[in-house]
Amino acid sequence: MATRTRPGVDWLALVVALLCLGSATGYVVLVLGQGDVPVLWFVGGLLVAAALTLHGSIRSRRFRAPALLASGVLLCALGALALFSIGLPIVAAGLIAFTAAARARVA
């Protein structure tokens, strides 16, 4: 039996993807401006989270809710590691990703 989903885009998930990309860009610009080298695994984690939320933002995709849930876990972990610098917006993006995952499971 096929399940029906609403076509379109989940704007809440797109907000998370934009927060991920904005945080990654801001982090790289800030660190390079200080003359240091950005931590690549941190930037990679933000980009992976952005890719997961972009996948989860399309309502017709399979495994949408697990992708958003994985993104939320990844973002909260990265945000906790960077809490004293740029972590607060990343944790907020993780919590929004959890909300989008909960909405995806209901739909």
Write the DSSP symbol of residue 107: -
Please compute the mean of the pLDDT values over residues 95-107 and round it to a whole number. Answer: 88
Give the confidence band of 6 by pLDDT, cuts at 50, 70, 90.
low
pLDDT at residue number 5: 55
Distance CA 61, CA 36 (A): 39
Please compute the mean of the pLDDT values over residues 49-54 and round it to a whole number. Answer: 96
Please compute the mean of the pLDDT values over residues 31-48 and round it to a whole number. Answer: 95
